Structure formats: C-alpha cells, structure tokens
A = this chain, B = another copy of it.
C-alpha cells in the first residue's frame, strides 16, 4: 500500500482505517498480492494512537484463579479495570517473546479477543458501540506476573518490548456479527491451557467501548484487549520457558503464534 501515490504514510491498518482505499487503489493493488507463505507478518496495527487499552479481570473464572494465586478475596469487579500496554511491546505473528530472567521469573500468557476501533467517539452509547468497531484481532497480553504483583499498577509488568503479540491480521467487523460467541483457546507447546468462549466475558465488547469512552476519546486504530479467560500460568504455576511456543486461537479470526526466545540482558 505504501507504494500507492499519496499513501507513503500508510504504514499500518490505522492509517487505512482513517482513509480507506478507493476502488481504483484496490484495483492497483490486486496485481501485487503476495502469498502469505514465506512472508513475515508485522502486527496489523504498528502504531495505535494510544497505548493498547486493556481490561483486566473480565472472565469470572480468571478472576477466581487470580484471587487464589494472589491470596486475596474473590470479588467480581463492578466496572471494567483498565490498564495499558506500550506500542513498543507489539510483535507480529510468529514473533518472539523475549526471555529475560532479570526482568521476570514468572513469564505468563493471556489469550484475548482484541477490538480495533474504526470510528472516533466519546461518551459512546452502548446501543451504538459496535458501530465504532473496525474489526477484530488476537492479542496475547504477555505478563511478567511477579512485576505486575510487586508494582500493583500493571503497566510495567505488561509493557516490556515484545509483550504484546498482535495478529495475525484484522478481520473486519462485518465478518463477525456477534463478538460474544467466539471460542478462544490458548496452547503452550500444543497443550491446551485456556479454552473458553467470549460469551463468558463479564463486560461485553459494547460495554467496554461505552465504559472506556466515558472520559476519553477513542480514535481509529485504537486497540482494546478484552481480557483473558481462566487457565493462565499464574494459576497453575507453569510459567513460560525459553523455547516455549504459545498459540492463541479465536474462532473466526485465526491463530496467533509466538515463540519464547532468549535475550541476554546487558549487565
């Protein structure tokens, strides 16, 4: 797309949402389609206008496993709990989650349905909320569980470089008429760790959009992570290790695969 005249800035889907291709541009691109085989995908949104907006504790049984792991009282939130992940954490399909034992000894995955905003808005009413969705993708909300707990605020433990695998692509909203009826499954080295349906969200996608836009303006290209089902390593104690392969599959979207790598911290 960047080779089209006047589209030098179309570095990611966010730019295309703001200014969609016209039919002539689509025609020009048709001859240049490349096979996905042998292609390395970047995150579909490289540079969302804001940090990735994420909600915590949005599936009852995940709230329960977290409360148990943390040793606190089990309480269902009465409003969505928001935190953010920096764009520098984004990674594409088949990317690498860094392994850095100096940063964390409790590297965890969180498979999530992610929403890509298509239309600006503030104080968005629930009935109109889904009109603001451009499409859906998959987020792995990678978490350094020990840092998350030590800081209480979750940003640092969830925003290290590579901690936000996103993709493989964005499926447009018309292809997913009901985002609350999708199976979601996370495997680690082929073993199922999370298996649930988005029907079990405490706050559904429309409610999340209404809630976050109460104070701030959502923009095209903003990405919203909708929370993770039960089955994270924090509950089982089986954290990710160097070389682990994590795959998050969401029905109707696809499968986002990441490998845990090795990095050497500068001393």
Bound Cα distance A88, B121 (Å):
12
Kindly state whether residue A86 has any CB partner on chain B within 8 Å: yes
**Most B CB within 10 A of own CB, among A50, A100, A151, A215:** A215
State the Cβ distance, A260 to closest chain B Cβ, in Å: 15
Which of A31-39, A75-83, A240-248 forms part of the interface with chain B?
A: A75-83
Within 8 A of B (CB), among A51-100: 51, 56, 79, 81-84, 86-89, 100
A81 pairs with B215, CB closer than 8 A: no
Give every chain B residue within 8 A of A50 (Cβ-Cβ).
Answer: 51, 86-88
Segment from A156-164, A175-183, A187-195 that makes contact with B: A156-164
Is the CB–CB distance between A151 and B86 below 8 Å? Answer: no
What is the size, in residues, of chain A's interface with B at 8 Å between Cβ atoms? 39
Contact B51 A151 (CB under 8 A): no
A84: shortest Cβ distance to chain B, in Å? 5
Known: A50-B51, A82-B151. 19 other contacts (CB 8 A): A47-B49, A51-B51, A51-B84, A79-B150, A81-B151, A81-B152, A82-B153, A82-B156, A83-B83, A83-B153, A84-B86, A86-B216, A89-B216, A147-B215, A153-B153, A159-B216, A160-B215, A160-B216, A163-B215
Binding site for B on A (CB under 8 A): 47, 49-51, 56, 79, 81-84, 86-89, 100, 103, 122-123, 144, 147, 150-156, 159-161, 163, 212, 214-217, 219, 265-266
